[in-house]
Structure 1
Amino acid sequence: MTLDQYRSVANRLLEPFVGAADRLGLSPDGVSVVAFGFALAAGVAFYLGGTMWYALGGLFVFLNGWLDLVDGALARAQGIASEGGDLLDHVLDRYADIAMLVGLAAGIDAYGLGLAAVTGVLMTSYLGTQIQAVGLGRAYGGLVGRADRLALIGLFAFVAAAAPRPVFGLSPVGWLLALFAVIGHFTALQRFWGAWSDLS
C-alpha cells in the first residue's frame, strides 16, 4: 500500500515547483522549515476541530507532504544535498508527525489512542533509520510509510469535516488514530523482520 514506491513519479511532477523554488532563491533547509510550519498549523487546526478547521488542517497536511518532497529534490537540483540537511529533514518530519497526531488526539480528548498512534508512527520511522544504520539502506517498505500516513491524515481530516458523526463509537479521527496505533506498530515489525532476515 505504500506510496513511497511512486517517488520517481512524484519527482517528475516536482520539477516545476523545484525550478520555481530555485528561482526564488529558497534553500532546501528553508523549505523544510516552511513544511514543518504547515504541520504545526495542521496540529493546531485539528485541536480546534470543527468543519472549517478540519478542512483547513487537511490542506495544511497536504502542503506539508508536498514541501517535504520539494526540499530533497531542491537540494539535489542545487547540488547541495548533505547529511546535515538530511538530519534536519528527519528531525522536523518526526516533530511534524507528533504535532499532527497530538493535535488530532487532543481535539477529541483521546489521549490513550493518541499515545498508541504516536508510538506506532515513531517506531515505524525509527526502524527505517535504524535499518540504514546497520548498513542495509534506508527502509521505506512496510504496510504504511510516511507518504501513506500523510495521505490518510489529510483524507480523514476532510471526512471529519464533512461527516463528523461517530461510527461504532468512534469519530473519523478516532478511527484514524486507532488505525495508526495498529498499523504503525505492524509496519515497524514488518521492517524489523525484513531487516532481521537480511542480516541472518
Structure 2
Amino acid sequence: MTLDRFRPAVKGAIAPSVTLAKRVGLTPNGVSVLAFALALVGGAAFVVAPRRDPLLYLGGAVAVALNGWLDLVDGELAREMGTGSDAGDLLDHVLDRYADIAMIAGLAAGLEAYALGLAAVTGVLMTSYLGTQAQAVGLDRVYGGLVGRADRLALVVAVGAAAAFVTEPFSGLTVVGWLLVFFAVVGHFTALQRFYYAMKAL
C-alpha cells in the first residue's frame, strides 16, 4: 500500500496553494520547475550536511517536503486552469525523475556511499519506469507496489529530519545509510511487483 493512492484525498488541502500559484502568475510548468529547484536544494543540503552541520539535513528535509507538495499543486493547477497537456505531463515526469536522482544522489554523496547510492537510485528509477511503461503498452499507469514516490518523499523527509539529530551509526550505518539500503532493496522489489502486475494484465 502506497501513499500515492491518497492523492485525491488531499485535493482540498492543496486548494490554497493552487489559488496562490494562480495569483502570482505561476503556470503548472512553472510550478514543476520550482519543485525541481527545491529538490536540487535538498540534494545539495544532503551532500554538505555530514561535513558541515547535521542540521542541514533538516533544511534538506524541508526542501524535499516542499518538492512533494508542489508536485501535487502543479497537476491540480493544470486541471483547474484547463491547461493540462501531454507536454506538461512529460515535463513533470522528467523533472520528477531528475529530482529523485538529485535527492538520493545527495544522500549518498554526503556519506560517500556511492555504490549504495547507485543501488538505491536504480531501484527508485526502475520503480517509476515500470509505473509509466505499463501505460506505454496500453495499461493504466501503475502506482501500486510496496513503495511509491509519495512514500519515498515521506521517508526522505522523516529520515532527513531524524539525521539532523541522530548522528551515531547503528550496525555500521547512519539512519541515512539505512534509508539508502531500504531504497536499494525495496525499490527493486517494488519495480518487480509492478512488472508482475503489468505482465499479469497483458
- What TM-score, normalized to structure 2? 0.97
Shift of 1:19: 1.2
Correspondences of 1:22-171 after superposition (within 5 Å)? 22-49=22-49, 50-171=53-174
Q: Is 1:191–2:194 an aligned residue pair?
A: yes
Within the alignment, does 1:179 sit opposite 2:182 as a pair? Answer: yes
Separation (CA, whole Å) in 2 of partners of 1:26 and 1:196? 40
Offset of residue 23 of structure 1: 1.7
Task: Name structure 1 gaps, 5 residues minimum.
Answer: none
Could you list the structure 1 runs, at least 4 aligned residues long, displaced by more than 3 angstroms after superposition.
none
Structure 2 contact 119–184 (Cα < 8 Å) conserved: yes
Q: Does the CA contact (< 8 Å) of 2:55 and 2:165 recur in 1?
A: no
User: What is the alpha-carbon distance in structure 2 between the residues aligned to residue 102 and residue 25 of structure 1?
Assistant: 32
**Counterparts of 1:107 and 1:176 in 2: how far apart (Å)?**
13
**AA aligned opposite 1:164:** T
CA contact (8 A) 2:168 2:174 kept: yes
Give 5+ residue unaligned stretches, structure 2: none
Corresponding residue for residue 4 of structure 2: 4
Q: Secondary structure at the match of 2:170?
A: coil
Q: Matches of 1:68 and 1:189 in 2, distance apart? A: 25
Note the alpha carbon deviations across 1:141-174, whole angstroms, 9 max, x for none.
1100000000000100011111111011110110
Instruction: Tell me the SS of whatever aligns to 2:194.
Output: helix
Which amino acid is the alignment partner of residue 118 of structure 1? Answer: V
Asked whether 1:16 is paired with 2:16, we answer: yes
Q: CA RMSD in A?
A: 0.7
Deviation larger for 17-26 or 150-159: 17-26
Post-superposition CA distance 1:111-160 (Å, at most 9, x none): 01100000000000000110000111111111000000000001000111
Q: In the TM superposition, what is the alpha-carbon distance from 1:51 to its structure 2 partner? A: 2.1
- Contact kept? 2:61, 2:161, Cα under 8 Å: yes
Separation (CA, whole Å) in 1 of partners of 2:12 and 2:141: 21
Q: What amino acid is aligned across from residue 26 of structure 1 in structure 2?
A: L
Identity of aligned residues (%): 63
Give 1:31's aligned amino acid: V
